[in-house]
Amino acid sequence: MVRFKNRYLTAEIIPGDSTTQPLNVKKYDLLASVLDVTEQIHGEFGAAAIRNGLEIKYCNESTQIAIIRCRHGPHRLLASSLPFLSTVGKRKVQLQSVYTGATMLRCFKFLKKFHEDKINEALKTCKTEQEKKKVIETMSKANLEF
């Protein structure tokens, strides 16, 4: 028997509108949108190729990160379709692929480093201690670890 290899695409969900409301993206809506855009870009072949192993494994509204599982091979079709995704449900969004990994553990390790870099960038732009405290409070409300 041959085992099936999976790939995990880590994507950042960037809201299209400038509101500060939470994203409220459901896994089902994201899955349907990904399938639709893949079918538009690659046709029925592309949609059928990724449908078999496609699953949204992780979707965090506060950090605006999603991890999408797909079979090895058709993951290239999925990765090439993600930049063309413009709506999820009724919200205008943009998906930016950040990382492709072979395991979820690798994706979470990458996300930890990714968030640490984002926090360090935000802290470098702060000029006073009060601004730094506000950034740290905001990050702690978003459930990010330092």
Q: What is the DSSP string of 53-96?
A: T-EEEEEETTTTEEEEEEETTTHHHHHHHGGG--EETTEEEEEE
pLDDT value of position 28 = 93
Burial 86-119 (b: 16+ CB within 10 A, else e): eebeebebbbeebbbbeeeeebeebbeebbeeeb
CA atoms 119, 88, 98, 100: torsion sign: positive
In a domain? residue 143: no
In a domain? residue 94: yes
pTM of structure? 0.85
Boundaries of domain holding 76: 6-104
Give the tens place of pLDDT for each residue, 66-113: 999 999 999 999 999 999 999 998 889 999 999 999 999 999 999 999
pLDDT value of position 89 = 84
In a domain? residue 121: no
Give the tens place of pLDDT for each residue, 28-76: 999 999 999 999 999 999 999 999 999 999 998 888 899 999 999 999 9
